[in-house]
Amino acid sequence: MDIAVKYKIISEIINSNDEHVLNAVKSLLKIDDEVDFWEELSTDDRAAIDEGLAQLDKGQFVSQEAVRDEIKKRFNF
C-alpha cells in the first residue's frame, strides 16, 4: 500500500468524530481501552497515596542518603 494512502487513512481517523467509525477501526486493529491504574486502586490506597504526596509537599520525608547511612550505621556495613 502506498504511504500516501496510509497517511490519508491516519488523517481521516484523527479528524473523525464518528464514534461508529472509530470503534470499528479500534475493533479491526484489536485495540483495547486502557484503564487508568488510579481507577483500579481501592479508596484506602488512593488515600494513602494522597497522604504521601501531601507529606512530600510539606517536606516530610527521609532522603535515600539518610536511609542508606542509617542502614550502614545500624548493620555495620
Q: What pLDDT sits at residue 71?
A: 94
Distance CA 68, CA 26 (A): 49
Distance CA 25, CA 9 (A): 11
Distance CA 23, CA 50 (A): 35
User: Is-above-0.85 flag for pTM?
Assistant: no
- The single residue listed with the C-alpha cell 556495613 is 77
Amino acid identity of residue 5, one-letter, is V
Distance CA 73, CA 39 (A): 41
Q: What pLDDT sits at residue 73?
A: 93
**pLDDT, tens digit (0-9, with 9 covering 90-100), for 53-72:** 999 999 999 999 999 999 99
Q: What pLDDT sits at residue 32?
A: 84
Domain boundaries, the chain: 1-33, 37-75
**pLDDT, tens digit (0-9, with 9 covering 90-100), for 3-58:** 999 999 999 999 999 999 999 999 999 988 888 889 899 999 999 999 999 999 99
Q: What pLDDT sits at residue 1?
A: 84
